[in-house]
Chain A
């Protein structure tokens, strides 16, 4: 009986926590389904209105920006390309960097690793102008390449993969070698499948990181054609319900990615046990 009471009590606390977090999001969503005049007259709404399709469709297809060149749909497309690019590129490079650091006979590998690691302490903002001039010199301003590549070297992901590789028993490599696997095959047939769970986690993490970028895309794009969702959030003008609708939609891609990949993530965790 006491167990029942304590567990219901902790559930209650959790529920309150969830409510506190979800409530503002709900308010915005509910408000985004009303008309602007309704919001202007009676403030934020708690219950759904009937302008959902009208508002959301309009936001998606409205030609915005100073030069009226970009729609929200295009921004989502840009953000998706950028976030996916950052996620894939940074996971691939960190997998390979960690592999080299752990398995190749590199002199001072630990020292090199710490050099890579230190870059975590240098925020993007600090190196943003030199990085910009490199991109400008290379003529990569206003391109997806320019949006993605400069922020796709991840020291954190390298750290995670390196620590994971270090826990893989040496016998596995030795055994694979005797079975005729070369360096490349060991990477593809062993390390990648074994770190599947971690790869998925890193993909999610880096996707959200790429999606949330603001300063870098702002700097490296001058054409509105390359605006991303997060930039749009800042730049957007228009009526309040349309802005609410845009905010709501901007949350969808990261949530979608987590839902889609989470399945593999959890499956991976349980299979390894």
Chain B
């Protein structure tokens, strides 16, 4: 049995909403797991069941070899960082960090040392005497992290802790969380709906949709090898292009082009997925793109346009190429990096 073990965990809220469907998942000690998915898919619910803040309708959760289902959150030895931080408004930063330790009857000197160590690690030593209301968003974020770290819990839970920060701070805190986790080595689960955050932080990623884990794997595995239309569309930025087509005798015919010798025996209507970055310009390429708009990001250009059948399409090319609005580009798919999905079920077929 691994460090954290979820077995057929289901959550049905009292009003009948089925938020999590028979989910099984194992997380190893020291691993950084990220739950990613669109709003309302059940990420928070799953996390809160691990924390003990929601009852488990069915299934088992084991943490460090102990069944957690009936264990009170205060006894689970987990720490959670909330989206709005949930700092204790009437206590100063020192007491915010110390509160969990005091509740365990740890003696004063040890508490002081632990709090000071954590404060140093998070660079909040200067604010220990301040109330949370006197801190900036980033500082509050650090205090929330400090409160989790100082207790040295079995597992860290993060529920979208970065979403209240501005873009720049978010990237900075993202890096710091990753570094911190590697330094402290605590098993962590991080919930987000931001796929960039998910890709950059995760050792392993669980892509959740409608209360089901659609795919589980390292970020690169999931990026390179999405198992369903949903995962393919969710992971990667800009989003994968999707085209309608039909697969027959290992030949895919889409509007305006064909691809032969496809590695699949499936026959019927399919969706073809091509990532914007897996295209290159050639003469007489498969795909003809009429350029509507070019976004120059410096390192890259994002080229938006339309295919013959007026379908929107995106192509990403190196920033040193100049592409004009209104131009017609001829594109090829690099290294046969395309994905074919069953149109009705969304399952990958190649």
Give chain A's interface residues, CB within 8 Å of chain B.
169, 171-172, 174-182, 185, 189-190, 193-194, 271-273
Contact = CB atoms under 8 A, between A and B. Distances in A.
B103 A181 contact: yes
Contact of B90 (A169, A171, A179, A194): A194
B140 to A, nearest CB: 13
Given A174-B53, A175-B82, A273-B133, A180 B74 contact: yes
Given A169-B86, A171-B86, A272-B89, A182 B74 contact: yes
Interface in B82-136: 82, 84, 86, 88-90, 99-100, 103-104, 131, 133
Interface string B69-89: 000111110111010101011
Interface in B253-276: none
Contact of B99 (A179, A182, A194, A272): A179
A156 to B, nearest CB: 25
B134 to A, nearest CB: 11
Contacts of B100: 178-180
Given A177-B53, A179-B147, A182-B74, A172 B86 contact: yes
A184 B72 CA distance: 15
Contact of B88 (A185, A190, A272, A273): A190
Contacts, number: 61
B322 to A, nearest CB: 51
B84 A171 contact: yes
Interface of A is mostly: helix
Nearest to B51: A178
Query: Closest 9 interchain pairs by CB?
Result: A171-B86, A179-B100, A180-B103, A175-B86, A177-B73, A193-B90, A180-B74, A171-B82, A174-B53
Interface of B: 51-53, 72-76, 78-80, 82, 84, 86, 88-90, 99-100, 103-104, 131, 133, 147, 151
Contacts of B86: 169, 171-172, 174-175
A15 to B, nearest CB: 37
A171 B84 CA distance: 8
Contacts of A193: 90
A50 to B, nearest CB: 52
Given A193-B90, A273-B133, A174 B80 contact: yes
Nearest to A185: B103
A219 B89 CA distance: 47
A189 B99 contact: yes
Contacts of A177: 52-53, 72-74
A178 B79 contact: yes
A174 B78 CA distance: 12
B86 to A, nearest CB: 4
Nearest to A179: B100
